[in-house]
Amino acid sequence: MGEIRDFKSGRQERPPGDPTPRRLAAIVAGDIAGYSRLMQVDEEGTHNRVKRIERDLIEPTIVEHHGRLVKTTGDGFIAMFDSPVEAVRCSIVIQQNLVGRNAAVPKDYWIEYRIGVNLGDVIIEPDDIYGDGVNVASRLEGIAEPGQVFISGGIYEQIKHKLVCGYESLGDRKVKNITDPVRVYRVLPDASAFHRTRRRRENILIFLLSITLLIIAGGILWSMLIPRSEKVADRTPAPVSSPSPAASPKAAEPAPAQKQATAPAASPTAQPQPQPSASPAVTAITPPPPAREPEMVSLQGGSFSMGSNDDPSERPIRRVTIKPFSIGKYPVTVGEWNACAAANVCGFTATGNDEAPITNVSWSDAKQYVTWLADVTKKPYRLPSEAEWEFAARGGTQAKYWWGDQMQLGMASCKDCGDSAAAEQPIKVGNFKANPFGLHDMGGGVDQWVEDCWHKNYQGAPTDGSAWLGGDCTSHVLRSGSWKNDSRYVRPANRDNYDTNVRYPTHGLRVALSP
């Protein structure tokens, strides 16, 4: 039967006798840790900050990940998603955003959420949801630590091979008012966190194994040396304390047999020496691989019209003059990034094709990479300015796209560009035609960080091609669009922004080099 709408309230009501609607959904439950204490410290300030976080972070992030905010509870929220992947991804983004927001305030004023995610069959009402699926998500949130995301076994089975993150099994947990134990996993926001945890455990085992092998080796060496030293001692004549000056030097020498017997004791090199073993304690440390320098293209600079009338953030169009510089022919790749990770400078080790662009990079990560690259190569590598990036992306043209005013299939990697990009990761760099400057993937592929802080438009922006560093530097500018975005993001003039310290699965970088 159809639904009856109450035109006064706008609510949909079920006809009598209709079954209660149910559906399988991924439920996200969030709650602020220490909310009562925060309210006691600063009631009005805490209330305003929580409302601002809900408005500016939680609600838009849920919408961005195709979820529905079911309700807020003063100090928490409940959201529902069709996709477990998007539910967990949304939770990670919320937590990472909060890290950046808390960095600007004293620790006693931090607002930290605990988040639980569960997959379950729920009852749907117009303004709420009910059932064990919701209860389990709430219980997981209750046992989660501040700033962390705990997921159920049902969610884990759905996402374990689909997200760039790690998971730590916490075993089966008995939670309040739920009959059966719940299998619980802690989400580690990037895969390197999981590998670091695993490596710590492996290092402990290796250390213990090394100690055991050294003890065994020491026992064997002792058993070899003691009998031999006793035998040598029995056959060695008593030393002559002070030979007479008249005595013949020959008389003072031992007999040949004696000389042979004393040789091992007199020559340390003749003692049995421990051979190089397979013990990890004596294994040579392999130095990290050298930096892989990105391939660069030199540009002579010049003047161009920056911006467009397609979006308010791209106005006003103005004339900008660019000085000579070099820019990466491609976005930074997984292989290039992992050289920095191997040197223990970059924050995580990436997986996947070495020639694919690196993803899940925050602006702070990008700065860390270019600083390391400049240090090891002794060359002034840096992030490009926003003006330099657009100058390079246009390739000397002023059209909507560098190839013309109309979108052409097969020219870039985006959601509706007609390419064969994988659903969960971008294809390797250089698969599409270069622009007139010889640069690849300057639209689509991955979002690319630039140096500039975010400004909502170009009013007051510099015209000399330098980075615009004033304004809201809690967010920085992104260019290019990604394989997940549609074709309007591929335009050279398109610009976006994201939180400075937050990683996101479509964000990468391209480097620049001063003359």
Give the tens place of pLDDT for each residue, 347-359: 899 988 999 999 9
Strands 22-32 and 113-125: antiparallel
What are the residues whose beta carbons fall under 8 Å from the beta carbon of 376, sequence distance 6 or more?
Answer: 290, 291, 343
> Which class does domain 296-513 fall in?
alpha beta
- Looking at 347-393, which runs of residues are DSSP E strands? 381-382
> Are 168 and 197 spatial neighbours (Cβ–Cβ below 8 Å)?
yes
Fold of 14-194: Alpha-Beta Plaits (3.30.70)
Domain boundaries, the chain: 14-194, 296-513
Confidence class for position 488, pLDDT limits 50, 70, 90: confident
The overall average pLDDT reported for the chain is 82
Tokens for 224, please give them.
């070899």
Least confident of 194-208, 372-386, 422-436: 194-208
Instruction: Choose between 45 and 252: higher pLDDT.
Output: 45
Least confident of 14-18, 207-211, 216-220: 14-18
Q: Is 242 exposed, middle or buried (0-12, 13-18, 19+ CB in 10 A)?
A: exposed
pLDDT of 258 higher than 50:
no
Instruction: Choose between 106 and 243: higher pLDDT.
Output: 106
Question: CA nearest 131: which of 142, 120, 141, 140?
Answer: 120
> Are 74 and 99 spatial neighbours (Cβ–Cβ below 8 Å)?
no
Percent of residues, the chain, with pLDDT higher than 70: 78
> Are 64 and 480 spatial neighbours (Cβ–Cβ below 8 Å)?
no
Tokens for 398, please give them.
């002023």
Spatial separation of the C-alpha atoms in residues 413 and 135, rounded to whole Å? 41
Spatial separation of the C-alpha atoms in residues 123 and 133, rounded to whole Å? 9
> Are 99 and 155 spatial neighbours (Cβ–Cβ below 8 Å)?
no
Question: CA nearest 512: which of 339, 419, 411, 387?
Answer: 387
Query: What pLDDT score was predicted for residue 417?
Result: 84
* pTM of the shown model: 0.53
Query: What pLDDT score was predicted for residue 284?
Result: 52
Query: What pLDDT score was predicted for residue 11?
Result: 41
pLDDT digits (tens, 9 = 90+) for 36-78: 999 998 898 899 899 989 998 999 999 999 999 999 988 999 9
pLDDT of 257 higher than 50:
no
Return the C-alpha torsion angle 421, 427, 433, 437, nearest 10: 130
Q: How many C-alpha atoms does 155 have within 13 Å on its Cβ side?
A: 36
Spatial separation of the C-alpha atoms in residues 236 and 476, rounded to whole Å? 81
Confidence class for position 419, pLDDT limits 50, 70, 90: low
> Are 143 and 175 spatial neighbours (Cβ–Cβ below 8 Å)?
yes
Query: What pLDDT score was predicted for residue 277?
Result: 46
Q: How many residues does the chain have?
A: 515
DSSP per position, 407-425? --TTSSBSTTTT----SSS
> What is the average per-residue pLDDT within 410-414?
87
Least confident of 105-119, 264-278, 301-315: 264-278
Confidence class for position 433, pLDDT limits 50, 70, 90: very high
2 φ, ψ to 5°?
Answer: -80, 170
> Are 87 and 77 spatial neighbours (Cβ–Cβ below 8 Å)?
no
Question: Which of 91-100, 203-212, 378-387, 503-512 is the most confident on average?
Answer: 378-387
Spatial separation of the C-alpha atoms in residues 136 and 64, rounded to whole Å? 24
Tokens for 159, please give them.
């996402």
